Amino acid sequence: MTLKIGIDVGGTFTDFLVSDETGQTGIFKVLSTPGDPSIGLMNGLEEIAAARKLPLADLLAEVDTIVHGTTVTTNAALTDSGAKTGLLTTPGVRDALEMRRGIREEQYNNRFTNVAPLVPRYRRLPVGGRLDYAGAEIEPFDRESARATAQTFAADGVESVALCFMNSFANADHEKAAAAIVREVLPNAFLSVSSEVLPSIRFYDRVSTTVLNAYVGPILDGYMKSLIGKLAEAGYKNILLIMQSNGGVVTPEVARERPAMTLLSGPAAGPGAGLIYTGLHGWRDYLTVDMGGTSFDAALVRDGTPLTMTEGEIGRRRLALPMLDIVTIGAGGGSIGWIDEGGLLRMGPRSAGADPGPACYGRGGTEPACTDADLVLGYLDPDFFAGGKLPLDRLGAIKAIDERVATHLAMTVEDAAAGMYRVINTNMAHGVREVTVKRGFDPREFPMVVAGGAGPLHACMICTELEIPFFIVPRESSIFCAAGMLLSDLRHDFVRSCVASLDNLDRARLADLLDEMVDEGKATLASEKIPPERMRFDVYLDMRYVKQYHEVTCPASLDAVRSGDLDSLLAGFHGEHNRLYGYSLEEERTPVELINLRIRATGVTDKPAFAEESAAESKVEHALKGERPVYVPEAGEFRPVSVFDGHALQSGHTIEGPAVLEQVNTTIFVSGDFDCFVDGRGSYVVHRKDYKVEAGRV
C-alpha cells in the first residue's frame, strides 16, 4: 500500500494526515517539541506506525511522499533568534534597514519607533563601487574593501552574510564578485545575495528580504540536516517536500538555498485544501477561515488558486517575496475579554494562550477568554472538551466573566458572555472583509470553508453578518493545513524589473526577460525531477499609472507578452485597477508604465484521492446524544437544543438548527437560522434555511 503524509508543525501540536491510494485518511496529533521540531515529527511517525501495527521502517517503506510545513524560520524571525548576520552594501545606504521607505507605520503617532533591524549598524559595512539605475558602472568595484569587510565579519564570528548593492537588479556583476570573496574568506557562512533572492527594483524591499533570508538561513539549514538525518536513519528513502509561503512546495535543497520562502508558510497550505470540500459541490471560488487558540486566518481562493501578494511583513520587517494573501487577526479561543477606558467591551488581541489558558482550563487563568464565553453559553460540554481529556471548569469561567466583564457593564454573566461572543464574531467578520471587500470582492458570492477547533462555533454568526449563505466544516478541520500540503504543487516565483512606459516598451527586451525566467523555471523544476509535460508557467505584470506610488499585479498570457500585445496588457491592467479601486483612467488615456515582470513556474504533483462516503443506512436520531440549554443568538435567549455525536453522523444525514454537533477535535454550532447536512466527503454543510438545497447538494 502506498501512503502520502502531510505534516503541519504548530506551536502546541504537530498534525499528521495520512492518505492511501484508496482515499482513506487517518488523523494524528502529537505534542510539538519547540526545541527541535523534528523530534515531535518523528514521534508522530512512530505513533502512526504503532496505529498500523508496523515497525517504523516498514511504515516508511510504504510512504512515497512526505510534505512538511515548518515554522522554524517564522519563529526565528519573530523572536529575533536567528543567525549572527552581517550586511555588505553600497556606501551611504547602510541605514536603509532603519530608514525603510521613509513612511511611518503609524502616521500620526510621533512617538512610534521602528522595529530594531536584524543586523546592528556596526555589522552593516560599506563596499566601494556603484552602479547607476540602468546597471552601468559609475565607480569600479573595490575588491580590497570587500575582502577587508569580509575579514572583519570573520573575526567577529558572523554566521551569515547578506549582500545587497544599489541597482544590482540591473547588473549583478558587483554582487557576484563580492560573493566570490565572501565564500573564500568565510567558507562556512551562509550567503544571501540580493540579485539571486530578489532581483527587482526598490532598495529597501530588496535589502530587507535579503537580510531576512540570511538571518534564518543557518536555522533552516540546521533543521533540514537534523530532519533528513533522522528520516534516513529510520529508513525513509523517498520524496520529502517543504511548504513555502506562496502555497507551493519545494525540495529541501531549494528551501535551504532560499529559506525566506518558508517564512510565512505556517498557514499557507490551508486555502488550497478547501477545494477538496467545495469541489464536491461545484465551487472553485471560496473563502477559508481558520480559528485557533490565538489567531484567526482568512483567505480567498479564485478558480481553485489562492490569491497572492508580493509584499508582506513578518515582525514588522518587509518581506517582498510572493506569498498567499492571508489576513491574520488576534481572535481565537484564548482571546481575552476586557473593558477599555471608554467602558466598551473588547475581545483580544491579547490571548490567554495554552498556559495558563482560559479560566475554564483550571490552570490558574483568571481572565475571561472566548472559550469561557462559549462554555457559559452552552456551546461546549465541560465533560467532553478534547474528547474528555481536558474537563472544563464552568464555575471558573462564570467567576472570570463576572469579575472582569459583567460587573463593569452592570449585566448578568450570561448577557456578558453573549456580548463577548458577538464582539469576537464581529472582529472575525471584519477580518473576512479584509480579504474580500478590501480586495474588490463581494463575500456573499463565496462559500466559506471553516477550520480550526474553535471556528465552527462562530461560523454561523460570521456568515450572518456577511450574508454568506453557507459554509462547510470538514471532518479534518483540526488538521486542515496538513490536508492542504498533500494537494500542493511545486512552485517557484521569478521576477525581473523592467521599468518603462508601455508606449515606449522595448518588446524584444521584454521577451528576452520572459524567456530567461522561463528557462530558469524549467531548470529548477527539472532538478526536482518534474517532466516537461507537468510544467506550467504563468505570467504576471506589475503596472501602474504614471506618477502612482503602488503597482497593481495583473495576470497576462505568455503569448501576449512575447508578441507585445499592448492592447491585451492594458485591458487587463485597467480591469484589475477598477476592481481594486473602483475606477480606471482608461478613457483619459493616462499613460501606464510597467515595473516588474513575474513568472510563476509550477510543477504539477500527484494528488491523493479522498474517498466519498456511502449514504447513511441509519436515521439521524441514532446520533442524538440528548439536549442541553444553549444560547440561540437569533432568539437572544437560552433554549433546549439537540446535541449530536458528530462521529456517528453519516453522509445524507440532515440536522435542523439550532443544534450542536460534537466531535473530539471540534464542535459545530448550527444556529437558529441555519440547517446542516452531511455531504459525500463526510463534511458538514451548514446553510441558511432559506437557501436552496437539492439532493443533498448546495
pLDDT of residue 370: 95
The count of C-alpha atoms lying within 13 angstroms of the C-alpha of 650, restricted to the half-sphere facing its C-beta, is 12
The DSSP H or E segment spanning 109 is: none
pLDDT at 21 over 90: no
CA distance 669 to 485: 28
Q: Which fold has domain 490-603?
A: Dna Ligase; domain 1 (3.30.1490)
Q: Which amino acid is at 573?
A: F
**301 with 307: CB under 8 angstroms?**
yes
- Cβ partners under 8 Å of residue 303, min gap 6: 284, 285
Going by the DSSP 8-state scheme, the letter that residue 607 receives in this structure is P
| pLDDT at residue 275 greater than cutoff 90 | no
Instruction: Give the pLDDT band (50/70/90) at residue 697.
Output: very low
| Confidence band for 86, pLDDT divided at 50, 70 and 90 | very high
pLDDT band at 70 (very low <50, low <70, confident <90, very high): confident
Task: Please determine, for residue 694, whether its predicted confidence score (pLDDT) is greater than 60.
Answer: no
Q: DSSP letters of 365-406? A: --S-BHHHHHHHTTSS-TTTGGGGTS---HHHHHHHHIIIII
CA 637, distance to chain mean position in Å, is 37
Cβ contact 153:186 at 8 Å: yes
Arithmetic mean of pLDDT, 53-73: 91
> What are the residue ranges spanned by the domains of the chain?
77-222, 490-603
- Nine-digit cell at 512? 528576452
Q: Give kind and range of the element (H or E) at residue 115.
A: none
Closest Cα to residue 610, out of 287, 301, 280, 302? 280
- CA dist 322 and 601 (Å) reads 12
pLDDT, greater one: 279 or 696: 279
Q: Which of 482, 428, 433, 420 is nearest to 291 (CA)?
A: 428
* pLDDT higher than threshold 50 for residue 504: yes
Average pLDDT over the chain reads 90
Secondary structure (H, E, C), 275-343: HHHHHHHCCCCEEEEEECCCCEEEEEEECCEECEECCEEECCEEECCCEECEEEECCCCCEEEEECCCC
Cell of 471: 459554509
> Chain-centre distance of CA 24, in angstroms?
26
Tens digit of each residue's pLDDT (9 = 90 or more) over 133-182:
989 999 999 999 999 999 999 999 999 999 999 999 999 999 999 999 99
Nearest to 400 by CA among 363, 430, 429: 363
| pLDDT above 70 (res 607) | yes
* Conformational region of residue 188, where left means phi above 0, alpha means psi within -120 to 50, and beta covers everything else: alpha
pLDDT higher than 50, residue 476: yes
Contact, 308 vs 326, CB < 8 A?
A: no
Provide the 10 A C-beta neighbour count for residue 631.
Answer: 24
Band of pLDDT at residue 11, cut at 50, 70 and 90:
low
Residue that the C-alpha cell 573575526 belongs to? 155
As given in the structure block, the three cell numbers for residue 501 are 512606459
- The model's confidence at residue 354, banded by pLDDT at 50, 70 and 90, is low
Kindly report the CA angle at 148 between 145 and 154, in degrees rounded to 5? 145
- Whether residue 466 has pLDDT greater than 80: yes
Q: Counting every residue, how long is the chain?
A: 698
Cβ atoms 347, 428 nearer than 8 A: no
In the structure, what pLDDT confidence band is assigned to residue 672 with cuts at 50, 70 and 90?
very high
3-state secondary structure of 535: strand
User: For residues 118 and 215, is the Cβ–Cβ distance under 8 A?
Assistant: yes
Would you say residue 453 has pLDDT above 70?
Answer: yes
pLDDT digits over 549-585, tens only? Answer: 889 999 998 888 888 888 899 999 999 999 888 899 9
- Distance separating alpha carbons of residues 658 and 672, to the nearest angstrom: 4
Which is more confident, 179 or 348?
Answer: 179
Backbone angles phi, psi at 281, to 5 degrees: -105, 10
Phi, psi of 406 (to 5 degrees): -60, -45
Q: Closest by alpha carbon to 393, among 411, 368, 414, 417?
A: 368
* pLDDT at residue 122 in the model: 95
pLDDT of residue 542: 94
Long-range pairs for 522-531: beta carbons < 8 A, 24 or more residues apart: 522/601, 524/254, 524/492, 524/601, 525/490, 525/492, 525/601, 525/603, 527/251, 527/253, 527/254, 528/250, 528/251, 528/254, 528/490, 528/603, 530/490, 530/603, 530/604
